[in-house]
Structure 1
Amino acid sequence: MNKEEVIQYLEGKGIPFDVMDHPAVYTIEDMEKLHITDQGEVCKNLFLRDAKGKRHFLVTLLKDKRADLKQIQEQLGCTKLSFASEQRLQTYLGLTKGSVTPLGILNDAECCVEVVFDRELIRKSRLGVHPNENTATLWISFEDLLNLVKQHGNPIHMLDIEP
């Protein structure tokens, strides 16, 4: 799904959200320069794979946290984690570099990507994520985002990701 399809999907589900269009951003620093981070809690999203490339994880955490891959690996009980290639990102989530988002699971028809949320996101009412393109930020509550992933069918892990 592209940005417009994501918006139509959310509208069809009756999920409340706001969208902010902006120039393409690739990093949290890019978002800060455009003052996007002033509008709510922006999420950092990582697409990871295990050592054998059999399991893939989409990790979502608050923008200011540093993701300790070893700590995440231990909590998931999997083999060593590393960043997945752009090819895998395109294959599994239909996304390009800089556009990683939990909404990418809408492109994962087989629900094989495991979604990892930092527990600190719970009860956040305004999270900023890309709507599958890095030229916009979509603002949605964590509860609605979590329910969307649950309804889609991807496995979900709630972890304590230390800063």
Structure 2
Amino acid sequence: MLDTPITRYLQQEGVNFLLLPHNKPARTIQEAAEERGVEPHQMVKSILLRDMGGLHVLACVPGTRQVDPKKVRTLFGCRRMTCADAQDVEEVTGLTIGTVAPIGLRQTLPVVFDLSLSHYQTVNISSGDRMAGIELAMQDLVQLCAPLYGDICR
């Protein structure tokens, strides 16, 4: 079994999940979906954003969509919000870009899901490793990360 902060957290919480190993590391959502045998829209893309005052927010959208930082900024009442750089992502989440999920993070962060994710029964998230993904019930993911919901896609 793959051992990452995300898999450990799911096991600790007693959540059922399916590990979907890759034959090669995925660099894009499309590659990850192909490796896992799922559609890209079933993937949950997790993007770390930060405002000028140091607030970090994890914005989650379907794999085929893009986060609109301006919409996230409005939700949180920030003046400016941008995508965090690779070093910031690693320091805040404990994971590298491309392996972040809304659970198993180094620190507790506000998490916001795009409204469209509420229609999903099952989703795919990163395992914390480029060589595997995780499939789990959307209701379990919501229970674990207690997200806010908003219209946050471009």
TM-score normalized by structure 1? 0.80
Preserved contact between residue 57 and residue 116 of structure 1 (Cα < 8 Å): yes
- Residue 149 of structure 1: how far off its partner (Å): 1.6
Aligned partner letter, 1:129: I
Corresponding pairs, count: 152
CA distance in 1, matches of 2:113, 2:148: 6
Preserved contact between residue 69 and residue 152 of structure 2 (Cα < 8 Å): no
CA distance in 2, matches of 1:85, 1:39: 24
Q: Which residue of 2 aligns with 1:55?
A: 55
Q: Which residue of 1 aligns with 2:124?
A: 128
Alignment of 1:1-163 (within 5 A): 3-22=3-22, 23-34=24-35, 36-38=37-39, 41-52=42-53, 54-105=54-105, 107-108=106-107, 111=108, 113-150=109-146, 156-162=147-153
The gaps in structure 1 that reach 5 residues or longer are 151-155
Q: CA RMSD in A?
A: 2.3
CA distance in 2, matches of 1:39, 1:55: 29
- Residue 35 of structure 1: how far off its partner (Å): 5.6
1:86-129 deviation line (CA, Å, top 9, x unaligned): 12111111011221211242x21xx2x21111122124221100
Preserved contact between residue 103 and residue 130 of structure 1 (Cα < 8 Å): no
Preserved contact between residue 26 and residue 99 of structure 1 (Cα < 8 Å): no
Preserved contact between residue 103 and residue 131 of structure 1 (Cα < 8 Å): no
- Residue 57 of structure 1: how far off its partner (Å): 1.0
The gaps in structure 2 that reach 5 residues or longer are none
- Residue 36 of structure 1: how far off its partner (Å): 3.5
Aligned partner letter, 1:13: E
The sequence identity of aligned pairs, in percent, is 24
The residue matched to 2:46 in structure 1 has which SS?
strand
1:63-89 deviation line (CA, Å, top 9, x unaligned): 122222212212222121111121211
CA distance in 2, matches of 1:115, 1:7: 19
- Residue 162 of structure 1: how far off its partner (Å): 4.2
Pair 135,81 (structure 1): closer, same or farther in 2 beyond 3 Å: same
